[in-house]
Amino acid sequence: MRSYIFTRRERERLVRWLEEGYEDDTTRMIFVEIRRNMPRLFGDLTLMLKVMRELMRRDRWDRRMRLPRKHEERLKALRAWMELL
């Protein structure tokens, strides 16, 4: 997984455009790429947010990740099922 969407230079150009309105061919090409890739990026960000929320719900966001043990998962499932009764 990549850790960025825009390069440092692209971010600088976009911030400059937002703050000063400065636009050149390179800035316009960034706009084209944003429009072209937005559906996929939006889907990926939506998926990432869903995973984030689920990790938080499972209390796995702020600590080192590890696979849950099978018996812990079974116990959680049993508790969840018992709460439904």
The half-sphere exposure of 53 on its side-chain side, counting CA atoms within 13 A, is 6
* Average pLDDT in the chain: 88
- Please, are residues 13 and 26 in contact by the beta-carbon 8 Å criterion? yes
- Please, are residues 39 and 47 in contact by the beta-carbon 8 Å criterion? no
| pLDDT tier at 76, thresholds 50, 70, 90 | confident
Please tell me which residue, 58 or 14, carries the higher pLDDT value: 14
Residue 16 has pLDDT above 80, yes or no: yes
Give yes or no for a contact between 41 and 5, defined as CB atoms under 8 angstroms apart: yes
| pLDDT tens per residue across span 17-51 | 999 999 999 999 999 999 999 999 999 999 999 99
Whole-number Cα distances in Å, 45 to 41, 51, 53: 6, 10, 12
Q: Say how far apart CA 69 and CA 13 lie, in whole Å.
A: 48
